[in-house]
Structure 1
């Protein structure tokens, strides 16, 4: 195992829809810099869904944190809104409402942490997608 530890990046931005695309670009750029391009497609999809939810249903600035360890990519999205996300069954004719189902399908686990000033949604991409050598110690988490 490599002894360089985890790779991490964070960004905080206004809750504007254009920042969803910027968060995907940040994700792709970080993963390329870390040599973990095999995670890019899934990570960008998850980041897009979580940031979109934070922009639509949260309040205040949105923060994105990416942490890559030997075991997984941890993705965390925070906002100042009190409403907690919950998966729902969207009707076939609804254009949205499947974001958390996508997160559940792509990720090894996810959780919501309530804070005094909002919430953080965290999920982990790992398993076969993280099978390439990683620059840090193991840190596996599962949804409670």
Structure 2
């Protein structure tokens, strides 16, 4: 009985590993970085002529969790579509915008049209966790 239980357990673990390899492999690919985090809005003066279209021609929609990244972070895999978790904020954000080349080591959290909220956010040093886009 004990040998059969051990065999069943071994088979179960092998099956889990076979189907869970991609989950574990992707978790191992996650990177962390400390970045400056600011906020921006879809309002004139903070964007170009169409404040609802981001740098890679993605249309931003209310309720989306979006960030812009400084261009130097793109070499780390933080490009269009990358999924990012941000220390202190719930949920997962998607990289859909890029910042002016004068900024470095920075993300910009999109706060739709709420300028007051973005100003209250200010500038922080935060840890981000992401899976690079290749």
The TM-score normalised by the length of structure 1 is 0.26
Structure number with greater CO (CA < 8 Å, separation at least 6) is 2
**Bigger radius of gyration:** 2
The TM-score normalised by the length of structure 2 is 0.27
